Amino acid sequence: MKCRLWMWILWPSFLVGGIAEGIFFTLVHPEDLIFFDQPIDASNEAVYTVGFFIFWFLCALSSALTLYILPGSLCDLNEKADGGLL
C-alpha cells in the first residue's frame, strides 16, 4: 500500500516536472536568471538539474495534497485501484 501511494505521488509529478522544466527553460536561459540580485555562478547543466528537482518537488507536493484531501480513506482508494483483487 505505501509503495503504491508513493508511486501515485512521485510518478505523475516526475512527468509533469520534466515537462515544466522543458517549457520553463525553453523560455528562460539559465544565464539570465538572477538570485538575490546576483547572477547564478553555476553551469547550465547544474541550473537545469536544480530546476528539475524544484519543479519535481512542487509537483509532488501538489500530488500529495491532492491525495490528502480526497474524500474517504486510502484503504477504500486502494481497493478501487486494484479492483479488490489484492
**pLDDT (tens digit per residue) in 23-58:** 999 998 888 888 898 888 888 899 999 999 999 999
pTM: 0.76
76 band by pLDDT with thresholds 50, 70 and 90: low
In whole angstroms, give the CA distance from residue 21 to residue 30. 11
Domain extents in the chain: 2-81
User: Which 3 state secondary structure label does DSSP give 15?
Assistant: helix
CA distance 59 to 17: 6
